[in-house]
Amino acid sequence: MKKPVKTILSWCLAAIIAASCANLISFFYRSGAGSINRENAFSISIRTPNSRMVRGSEGYGINHVDANGYLNDDTLPLSEQYILLMGSSHAEGLQVMQKDSMTAVLNNLIDPNVRTVYNLGTAGYTLPLIIEGFQAALDEFPNSSAIMIEISQLDFSNDELTQAMNQATFDPASTGQALMDSLGTGRRVRNDLLSAIPLISLLRQQIESMNFSMRDAFGIRDYFNKLATSATTQNNADADLEDIAPQGEEIAAQSAATGGSNGNFEALNQALALLRSEYDKPIILLYHAGVSILPDGTISINRDMQYYDDYRAACEANDIVFVDTADAFLAAYQADFSLPYGFFNTTMQGGHLNALGHKIVALEFYKAWMNMQEEEKN
């Protein structure tokens, strides 16, 4: 009996050592206590306040989360004339070191002795969500001197833009400090456990990313997909060609009625007019499109031209500065073949902004900001 017991103990010890080593590695690959959901605020969730986040699956970033639950290095004091940066996961910047984020670059450009730009970047926050939370952000951070908005997507429907104008109302109980104070013992223990054992979060992420079912096995899914494709092809072949013509005429009529746009200019214009009515200080809207490497080695900028002119026109109509990073992206690539997206551990040209992309976006924001300052002086 002694030998089996000794063997089991040896296995258990080996498992504990292996798990400990994996957990140690996780500290440098993916760690951080995650997010806290909330209502009646700019964003529907914040990162766990006063924590550190490490992410290494796309790029590599070590970032500090401040007391409000946003990624900001609060080593330096925040200027009394601060600028709010609103945006998506690109602005949040988990994929780069905090010193390389657009927020940090902007702060160094404007004044390296204080923090002028405060980052509200939130994963998944496209323009409609920013519009929805805009007034709540102004209520939570009432003393800003300007707003910078980062977007990488333009194709939003009338319904999305109209719905966004039903804005959230700020509740002081939704601030980072208030949420932390209201956490129960169970949630506090959970946060401490996740912070001490990041391997748990990593394993959970891997499990949640699995998408296996028996339909994938033995070619069953492929079989049913072929049947569906065959049926669709037959239905299309049997369709009366005369039924197709009215669709084409209808699309042409819609295009003519909207002047060649997608017809969402009015909704977009109303949404941006709402922002302007709520905020009488400078607003800069920066759009950074994706890029593609062409077969000849050059790159193209993947602007969404179906909506692009509408955005320029709506911004102009509402005294909002529209900035497009396309020329800066092209210039960087032509200089030394550098790309603004992609990392050493992912595919270049895709995914989130890398350190170069953050720098370019920050520079374009800064140029627009300085131009506005000069115009005010004149």
- Using the Cα atoms of residue 158, residue 137, residue 175 and residue 366 in order, give the sign of their dihedral: positive
Q: Is the pLDDT of residue 365 over 50?
A: yes
Place of tokens 């992309």: 357
pLDDT grade for 261, boundaries at 50, 70 and 90:
low
**Do 174 and 95 have their domain in common?**
yes
Give the residue-averaged pLDDT of 300-305: 95
**Do 59 and 130 have their domain in common?**
yes
**Do 235 and 309 have their domain in common?**
no
pLDDT of res. 229: 45
In three-state secondary structure terms, 91 is helix
Q: Is-contact 169 9, C-beta < 8 A? A: no
Q: Measured between alpha carbons, how far is 338 from 355 in angstroms, rounded to an integer?
A: 11
pTM for the model stands at: 0.82
pLDDT of res. 183: 79
Give the residue-averaged pLDDT of 350-361: 97
Q: How many domains does the chain have?
A: 2
pLDDT of res. 199: 66
Per-residue pLDDT tens digits for 219-243? 444 544 544 444 433 333 333 323 3
Give the residue-averaged pLDDT of 7-25: 78
Give the residue-averaged pLDDT of 74-99: 96
Tell me if 284 is assigned to some domain.
yes
CA separation (Å) from 232 to 44, 61, 221, 224, 229? 41, 46, 16, 12, 5
Long-range interactions of 105-113: CB distance < 8 A, separation 24+ = 105/358, 105/359, 105/362, 105/363, 106/362, 106/365, 106/366, 107/76, 109/362, 109/363, 109/366, 110/83, 110/366, 110/369, 111/79, 113/76
Q: What contacts 319, CB < 8 A, 6 or more positions away?
A: 276, 283
pLDDT of res. 15: 79
3-state helix, strand, coil in the chain (%, to 5): 55, 15, 30
Q: Is the pLDDT of residue 68 over 90?
A: yes
How confident is the prediction for the chain on average, in pLDDT? 84
Q: Is-contact 29 21, C-beta < 8 A? A: no
Per-residue pLDDT tens digits for 79-89? 999 999 999 99
Q: Measured between alpha carbons, how far is 209 from 164 in angstroms, rounded to an integer?
A: 30
Question: Around Cβ 267, how many Cβ atoms within 10 Å?
Answer: 21
pLDDT of res. 309: 95
Tell me if 10 is assigned to some domain.
no
Q: What contacts 349, CB < 8 A, 6 or more positions away?
A: 290, 291, 292, 293, 299, 339, 341, 342
Give strand pairing partners of 46.
Answer: 36
**Do 88 and 47 have their domain in common?**
yes
Which two structure tokens, joined as six digits, stand for 336?
């030394």
Per-residue pLDDT tens digits for 161-191? 999 999 999 999 999 999 988 877 776 676 6
Tell me if 20 is assigned to some domain.
no
**Do 153 and 273 have their domain in common?**
yes
**Do 143 and 244 have their domain in common?**
no
Q: Is the pLDDT of residue 194 over 90?
A: no
The dihedral region occupied by 259, where left means phi > 0, alpha psi between -120 and 50, and beta the remainder, is left
Q: Is the pLDDT of residue 206 over 90?
A: no
pLDDT grade for 201, boundaries at 50, 70 and 90:
low
CATH of the domain at 329: 3.40.50.1110
pLDDT grade for 205, boundaries at 50, 70 and 90:
low
**Do 236 and 203 have their domain in common?**
no
The helix (H) or strand (E) run that includes residue 150 is strand 146-151
**Do 104 and 173 have their domain in common?**
yes
**Do 131 and 231 have their domain in common?**
no
Question: Containing domain of residue 223, as a range?
Answer: 214-254
Q: Is the pLDDT of residue 257 over 50?
A: no
More confidently predicted of 230 and 294:
294
Nearest in space to 179 (alpha carbons), one of 66, 48, 72 = 48
Q: Is the pLDDT of residue 98 over 80?
A: yes
**Do 40 and 114 have their domain in common?**
yes
